């Protein structure tokens, strides 16, 4: 069953991108499920919550900008799937990159709070 109210999940998605660009590890802890897994857009590796929070919070991984586009959400009960496109400028240690990707984020609502449980990015080549 789908319901039409996806505003909470879309707001949580914006908060997630803002926490990344702000380097706010504490906000990431609040937004991400305990068993959160990110599938890395660059290598396809699995990144658990603790590793992402540490990388972003310590500035080892810096998201200089994230520009989302074509964002839409579908809701199924207490679960929402948010997908879209991004262009990200990021720095990992001493390397910088601009990455265009398509992403899928899965959120679960519990007692009015949306939690990100899974995220995957797929790089879009310029070819």
CA distance 64 to 62: 6
Give all domains of the chain, ordered by start, each with its CATH number: 2-123 (3.10.450.50)
Task: Show Cβ contacts of residue 2 under 8 Å, excluding neighbours closer than 6 positions.
Answer: 74, 75, 76
CA distance 106 to 36: 10
Q: How confident is the model at residue 127 (pLDDT cuts 50, 70, 90)?
A: low
Sheet with strand 2-3: strands edge to edge? 2-3, 61-76, 79-92, 95-110, 113-123, 32-39, 46-48
What does R_g of the chain's alpha carbons equal in angstroms? 14
Contact of 83 with 102, CB cutoff 8 Å: yes
Q: What percent of the chain has pLDDT over 90?
A: 86
Contact of 86 with 122, CB cutoff 8 Å: no
Determine the straight-line distance between the first and last CA of the chain, rounded to whole angstroms. 39
Whole-prediction pTM value?
0.92
Contact of 7 with 28, CB cutoff 8 Å: no
Q: What is the pLDDT of residues 42-101, one digit of tens each?
A: 888 999 999 999 999 998 999 999 999 999 999 999 999 999 999 999 998 888 999 999
Q: How confident is the model at residue 21 (pLDDT cuts 50, 70, 90)?
A: very high
């Amino acid at each position: 069953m789908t319901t039409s109210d996806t505003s909470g999940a879309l707001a949580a998605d914006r908060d997630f991108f803002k926490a990344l660009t702000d380097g706010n590890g504490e906000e990431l802890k609040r937004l991400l499920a305990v068993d959160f897994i990110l599938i890395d857009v660059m290598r396809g590796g699995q990144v658990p919550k603790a590793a992402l929070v540490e990388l972003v919070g310590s500035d080892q991984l810096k998201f200089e900008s994230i520009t989302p586009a074509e964002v839409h959400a579908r809701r199924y009960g207490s679960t929402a799937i948010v997908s879209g496109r991004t262009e990200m400028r990021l720095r990992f240690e001493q390397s910088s990159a601009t990455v265009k990707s398509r992403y899928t984020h899965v959120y679960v609502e519990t007692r009015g709070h949306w939690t990100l449980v899974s995220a995957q990015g797929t790089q879009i080549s310029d070819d």
